[in-house]
A = this chain, B = another copy of it.
Amino acid sequence: MSGSAPGEQGNARAIGVFDSGLGGLTVVHELRRCLPRESIVYLGDTARVPYGTRSAATVVRYARGCARLLVQRNIKALVIACNTASAVALDILQAELDLPVIGVVGPGARAAVTAADQAEREQGRPVRIGVMGTLSTIRSGAYAREVARLSSRHEVHSQAAPLLVPLVEEGWLEGDVPRLAIERYLSTLLKPDVGVLVLGCTHYPLLKSMIAEVALRLLGRPIRVVDSAEATASAVHELLEQRAWHTPNPEAALQLLVTDLPDSFQASATRFLGDVVGSAQAVDIMPADG
């Protein structure tokens, strides 16, 4: 993580957050809970969502375009609120940008290891970590790598669960269809020794209680569910503390930018943010990142 000090008045600059679409607003929800006096500028690349089914090369190209647009808005730190982009583009953006860049995978993996350590102490036997995410996130192996870097105690099982994103986008959060889809994914993922489940996609928190309920039924005992949105907000909080970059900004604002503004924007954004959203501004990503 690089980055020069933003200086006295730089503290009032906004935190930049981007995601492939609107799912990253679950991270904004946690950031606002944790840092209510910070301004946030959010970019949802709704013209090219989803990233999770695309090749790594294309995701890197798209992530660069999003980051560049936010940097031009004079942000003090950048949050990649997208597991797929964090998994494949975090290192690159950290190397290329002259400001702190935080992804969701690192904080999510740290929270998972902490939860697994605790479960292991309580249960007195090894505890594995299960990770659900998009195809690209799971294929990248980013969570397994990050967990291994932090601890050699916990093995990681992974399962791509691509259908959960469109289910959330469609607003089908209850009923048989999401429950059976979750059951189908979890019945592959959950072995008896999996004690912690990481929601490795910013869409999944909206299905959190149903995922916990299905896991309880399949395993016959409760499981710890780690939401990387919460963990990421804590990591940003820590960063601002360390650098004394907190802003006692009485006019903290949330600005929403999107690359495509569909009719369903308000309903969808409100669902992810857990709060009524105002209007969003449509922006173009620089052509070179097509």
- Please classify the interface of chain A as helix (H, G, I), strand (E, B), loop, or mixed, using the class held by over half of its residues: loop
CA distance A55 to B287 in the complex (A): 19
A142-185 vs B, CB cutoff 8 Å, 1 = contact: the mask equals 00000000000000000000110111011010011100110010
Do the beta carbons of A260 and B180 come within 8 Å of each other? no
Do the beta carbons of B58 and A54 come within 8 Å of each other? no
Do the beta carbons of A135 and B264 come within 8 Å of each other? yes
CA distance A54 to B45 in the complex (A): 11
Question: Which B residues lie within 8 Å of A264 (CB)?
Answer: 53, 135
Q: How far is the CB of A290 from chain B (nearest CB, A)?
A: 5
A24-54 vs B, CB cutoff 8 Å, 1 = contact: the mask equals 0000000000000000000000111100011
Interface residue? A261 (CB, 8 A): yes
Task: Kindly report which residue of chain B lies nearest to residue A139, judged by CB atoms.
Answer: B263
Known contacts A48-B47, A177-B177, A184-B177; A260 and B172 CB within 8 A of each other: no
Interface residue? A244 (CB, 8 A): no
Contact size range, A:
35 or more
Do the beta carbons of A260 and B181 come within 8 Å of each other? no
Q: How far is the CB of A134 from chain B (nearest CB, A)?
A: 11
Task: Kindly report which residue of chain B lies nearest to residue A258, judged by CB atoms.
Answer: B55
Question: Which B residues lie within 8 Å of A175 (CB)?
Answer: 184
Task: Kindly report which residue of chain B lies nearest to residue A176, judged by CB atoms.
Answer: B180
Question: Which B residues lie within 8 Å of A284 (CB)?
Answer: 290
Interface residue? A285 (CB, 8 A): yes
Do the beta carbons of A53 and B169 come within 8 Å of each other? yes
Interface residue? A278 (CB, 8 A): no
A276-290 vs B, CB cutoff 8 Å, 1 = contact: the mask equals 000000001111111
Binding site for B on A (CB under 8 A): 46-49, 53-55, 58, 135, 139, 162-163, 165-167, 169-170, 172, 175-177, 180-181, 184, 260-264, 284-290
Beyond A139-B263, A285-B290, A289-B290, 10 additional pairs, beta carbon < 8 A = A47-B58, A48-B48, A55-B262, A55-B263, A163-B166, A163-B167, A163-B170, A175-B184, A177-B181, A284-B290
Please list 15 pairs of residues, one from A and one from B, whose beta carbons are closer than 8 Å in the complex, sorted by A's number: A47-B58, A53-B264, A54-B260, A55-B261, A58-B260, A135-B262, A135-B264, A163-B172, A176-B176, A176-B180, A180-B180, A286-B290, A287-B287, A289-B290, A290-B290
